[in-house]
A and B are shown apart, each in its own frame.
Chain A
Amino acid sequence: MGQDMLATAKSAVEIAKKKGAQDAAGIGRVRRTVEVGWRDGKLEKISEATSRGLDLKLYVDGRYSVVSTSDLRPEGLDAFIGNAIALTRTLAKDPFRTLPDPSLYQGQSKEDLGIADPKIDSIAAVDLRRMAEAVEAAARGVKGASAILSVSSGAATTLSELYQVHSNGFEGNYRDTSFDLFADVSVKDSDGRRPEDGDYASTRLFSELPDPASIGRSASERAMSRLGQKKGASALTTIVLDRRAAGRFVSYLLRPLAASSLQQKRSFLEGLVDKPFGSKQLSFKDDPLLARGLGSRPFDNEGIAAKRFPIFEGGVLRGHYVDTYYGKKLSMKPTTGGMSNLAWGLGTKDGAALVAEVKEGILVTGFIGGNSNDTTGDFSLGVQGYAIRGGKVGEPIGEMNISGSHLQVWKRLVAVGNDPFPYSMGRTPTLVLDGVQVAGT
C-alpha cells in the first residue's frame, strides 16, 4: 500500500507541473486503525479500516491552493488536479507563498526516534479485546465498586505512513505507530448525579503501555473520588494543575506562539522575544526528536528537518513556531509551523509533594469548556478537582471556573513538578499557580 502512495504523490506532483504549476508538494497518507470498545461485560464495537488520501499544495503563477482527495482513481486524479490548477489561477497573487528554501530540508537527524513499533503487525482485534476486558475487570475490582453504573473500556492500534514529495527537491517518508488504552467509569451519587472519570494511556511502542489493570483501577478510583462533589466558594487562591490537566492550560500559551498569530496581530506574545514573560520556573523546548515521543518526527509538514529549539527559558520568551509563509511575511527564520513534543525544565518534586507544600488551594484535575483570547490573553475555564486542605487532597469540587490573564498568571507560576505526563505531546508536569481567581458560589 505504502509504495503505491509514494507513487501517487510523485505522480500528482508531475501531473501538476505538466498542467502548469511551477511548484507542487504532494503528501500521500495511509492509516490503518483497529479499535475495540468493550462495555459492561460485552463487546460493544470493533472497527477496523485502512484509509488513504492525497494532499497536494499547488504553486501556480504566484498563486496558491491546497487540495486533498480520497478518490485516487487515476483518471479522476488527472481531472482533479487540472480543476485545482484552474481554481488556483482565479486567486490573487501572493509573493510570500513558496515552498521552503531547500537548505531547510538538509540535516535530518540520524537519531532513532523509535516511533514505529514492528510489533503492531502481530496485535489483532482479539488481543485488544482481551486488554479491554482486563481493564474492566480491574475497574470493577476496586473497593466500593457497587457504586459503578457502567464501565466503558477500549484499546486501539494505529499505523500511519506518510510519503512526501516536493518539486524543489524534497522526498521523505516515515511510519509511526500508536497504541491506546482507555477506561471511562460512571458512578451513581446519592443526589442522582452520575459522575464519570477515566484514565488512558497512549504510547508509540506496545511494550510501553501500562498494565491494563492499572488503567482500570485508576479510572474507577478517579470516578469514585468524584462522589459528593460540591461547588466551592469564589476566592482568589493557589491552584495546582495536575500533570494530565495542565496540557489544556498550556495549549492556550502555544496558539499565540504561531507566526500566523503574530502577523495577524492576534497574539498577546507579540514583541516579547528575549523579554521576561513568566516566572523563572517557566522553561520548555520544542523537541521533535524525543525518543518515542507522541509528537516526534524526522521532518515537519513542510519537509523542514526537525530540530530542537527553546520556547521559554527561565520565563524569557526565546522562540516562536514559524512556518515558511508567515516567516517570509515577518522576515523571521522558519523553525516549524507546528508543535511536536514539549520538553519541560522540570522541578524536583512530584504532584503529591507539591500539593503538600501548597497547604490551602484547589487541585485542578480536569477542565470543562471555557476558552482563551489569543489577542488579549484573557481566559475563563470551567474546572473540577479537589479542595486542598492542610496540604492534603480534600473533598471533590466542581461546577467552578478559573479566570485571569496569561500576561499575569505565568508570572505567578511558583512551582513545576518532576513528573511530565507521558501520554501526550505536551508532556506537562504538575504546575502550581498563585493568586488565581476562582468562581463558585
Chain B
Amino acid sequence: MPSNHRMTRRQFVEMGATSVAAATAGGFILGCGGAALEKPEVGAGAGGAAAPPSGAGRPTYFARFGVDEGMIREGIAEALSHGGDYADLFFQHRVSNGLQLEDGEVNRAYTRVELGVGVRVVKGDQTGYAYTEELTRDAIKRAARTAASIADGPARPAPQSFKADGGLPQRYTLDMPWDNVKPEQKLPILDGVNAAVLKADARIKKVSVFFADEAGAVLIVDSLGRMAEDVQPMTMMYVSCVAEQNGRRETNGYNVAGRRGFDFYSPEVVGRVVREAVARTTVLFDAVQPPAGEMQVVLGAGSSGILLHEAIGHGMEADFNRKGTSIYADKIGKPIAKPFVNIVDDAAQSFARGAINVDDEGNPAGTTMLVDKGVLATYMHDAISAKHYGVKPTGNGRRQSYQHAPLPRMRATYMLPGPHKKDEIIASVKNGIYCQSFSNGQVQIGAGDFTFYVKNGFLIENGKLTKPIKDVNIIGNGPKVLEQVDMVADDLVIDEGGWTCGKDVQSVPVSQGLPTVRVAKITVGGRSQKA
C-alpha cells in the first residue's frame, strides 16, 4: 500500500483494540484489509523461533546479532565517511507472539520475527537514514554509505573501541521471561477468561481474547564509542465482548499491558480483566446520549491521562518546538496551569508499558518534570533537539523499530496527586459528565486542538453520578484546557492498558495516568441538548 503522508502530522494515541480488529478481520498479513484497518503493531511472535536468550549475562549481544566489534567499527567509519557529526547503529531482534480466542476456541496464532539494523548519520539537525535486514559486513557498510550521504565533507575519525555503560537501571527484570514460556502454558489463560466472561452474564454472546507477548533486544552503538543494550519484554491481553439485550447489541472490552512476564497473569489480574470487560459492556444498555456543547467535565483517575498525552504531551516534544510549530514553543518558564498542577513524563515506572531503561539513542532515561507547580519546566528531548537547545537529552529519543530514526516521544505521562478529594470534585458539579474509559485521542500540535473519545462515563446531575453515557468525543484546546483544570484529587492511578502512540507514522508503547480531575469547561460532542 502506498505510504500516506496525511499521517505525517497526525499525532494520536489508541488502545490495542485496533490491532485485534485488524487481526480478526484477516488483515494481518498484508495490513490492507480495508482502508480503516491498520496493521497490528503489537503483533505476534511465537514459541521460540530463534528466540533471544533472556538477558541474564551481558554483553551477549554481538553473538545474538551475529556481528562483531570489527563490523560495527567499519559501519560507523563508513557512516562518518562524508563528514557527519554523529552516527549510530541500532540493532534490533524482536520476537512477538499472539494468540487469539474466538467463538470459544484458541484457533489462531501469530508470530513475527524482526531482525535488522538501522544506520543514522546526523549533521546539525539533518538526518540520513538507512537500514538492512541482512546483518553482514557488506550490507551494514552499504546502509552506512547511504546514510552518510546526508553530509558532504571529509571523513571524520571513528572510535576504535566501544564501551557499555554497566550502570543501566533494571526496570523490568522478569521472573518468568517469555522465551521460556510454552504456548501450552498460555492457552488456559485465554480459555479461562472466555469461560468466566460467559458465566458472568448471560447477555454476553461473543467473546474475543487476544493475548500478546514480546521478547525484544536492542543494541545501540554510536560514534562517541558508547554502547548500550537492553532486553525489552512486553505483554498485553485484550478482552472484547458483544452483549445482547432485547434485540440491542453493545460491544466493549478491557485490556491490561506492561513490560511483564508470564507471572503477571495472576488470578487477581485475570479476574479484574473479566470483571471490567463484562461491566463496561453491559452498562451500555442503560446508557443515554450525552449532551452536546460546553460543560464541566470530571476525568476519572487512570486512563484519563489521555488528556495529558494530547493536551500537552505532544506539544512538549522538543522537535515541534525546535521547529516553532508547537503552541508551547514560547512558553518555557511561564505559568500554564494552576499551582497544584504537576505533570511528569517518566521512563522509570517499573514494569509499565511506557518504561524504558535507556532510550533508543543510548541516552539515560529518567523522570522528566514537564509542568512544575503550574509552570512549564522543560521539553522532552532527543539528541538533536538537546543539542539545539544546549541541554542534556532527557532520554525521550524513541523509535518504532530499526526501520525508523528516533524522535522525541513520550514514555509514561501522568499528573501528580493534588489537594482535592474525588468525592468533593464530583459533588461540586451541578451539570456535567464523568469520564471513565477511553479508546483513542488526537492532537494538532500548532493550533493545540485535541480530542479524546470516551467509551464509558456517567452524567453528573446535582453533584451525583446518575445515568451511564457512551461513545462521545471530547474536544478542546490544550493550553486553554490546562488553565481550566481547577481541581485535582489525591488518587493518582497509572493506567494498566495497552496504549500505543503514533507520530510521523511510527508507533511506540506508552503509559499514562491521572488523579481525578475537574475541567471547568470543555466541549462534549454529544447528541442531546444541554440541560
Q: Chain A residues in contact with chain B, CB under 8 A? A: 27, 33, 35, 39-40, 42-53, 55, 57, 63-72, 76, 79-80, 83-84, 86-88, 90-94, 97, 125, 149-150, 152, 154, 156, 158, 178, 180-182, 184, 186, 192-196, 198, 200, 202, 226, 229, 231, 234, 247, 251-252, 254-255, 257-258, 260-261, 264-266, 294-295, 301-302, 321, 323, 325-326, 337-339, 368-371, 373-376, 378-382, 384, 398-404, 424-426, 437-441
Contact = CB atoms under 8 A, between A and B. Distances in A.
Interface stretch (B389-397, B411-419, B466-474, B490-498): B466-474
21 contacts: A43-B150, A66-B28, A67-B44, A80-B49, A87-B183, A92-B106, A156-B3, A186-B325, A202-B4, A229-B447, A257-B34, A301-B26, A369-B452, A370-B442, A375-B251, A376-B249, A380-B453, A382-B451, A401-B524, A403-B473, A441-B293
Contacts of A255: 21, 34, 36-37
A439 B526 contact: yes
B451 A265 contact: no
B407 to A, nearest CB: 11
Given A368-B475, A375-B249, A441 B128 contact: no
A72 B453 CA distance: 41
A440 B439 CA distance: 22
A40 B242 CA distance: 51
A40 B443 CA distance: 23
Interface in B77-121: 99, 102, 105-116
Given A48-B129, A87-B109, 20 more contacts: A49-B146, A51-B133, A91-B106, A97-B107, A97-B108, A182-B8, A186-B325, A194-B326, A196-B325, A196-B447, A257-B34, A258-B34, A261-B25, A375-B242, A375-B249, A378-B471, A380-B525, A382-B442, A382-B475, A401-B523
A439 B2 contact: no
B126 A44 contact: yes
Given A49-B403, A380-B471, A70 B29 contact: no
Interface size class of B (residues with CB under 8 A): 35 or more
Nearest to B310: A369
Contacts of A64: 107-109
Nearest to A162: B30
A27 B440 CA distance: 32
Given A91-B107, A375-B250, A400 B475 contact: yes
A43 to B, nearest CB: 6
Contacts of B310: 369
Contact of B292 (A260, A398, A403): A403
Contacts of B449: 368, 382, 384, 398-399
A255 B27 CA distance: 11
A91 B109 contact: yes
Given A48-B146, A441-B293, A321 B47 contact: no
B316 interface: no
B444 A46 contact: no
A179 B359 CA distance: 33
Nearest first, the 8 closest Cβ-Cβ pairs linking A and B are: A401-B525, A369-B451, A178-B2, A194-B446, A369-B442, A92-B105, A439-B292, A182-B5
A66 B24 contact: no
B206 A45 contact: no
A68 B44 CA distance: 9
Nearest to A193: B447
A149 B526 contact: no
Nearest to B284: A376
A378 B131 contact: no
Contacts of A86: 47
A295 B93 CA distance: 32
Contact of B34 (A66, A72, A339, A438): A339
Contacts of A67: 44, 46, 49, 110-113
Nearest to B205: A265
A409 to B, nearest CB: 11
B330 to A, nearest CB: 8
A43 B49 contact: no
Contact of B242 (A88, A152, A252, A265): A265
Nearest to A329: B103
A440 B522 CA distance: 9
Contacts of A186: 323-325, 446
Contacts of A192: 327, 330
A87 B46 contact: yes
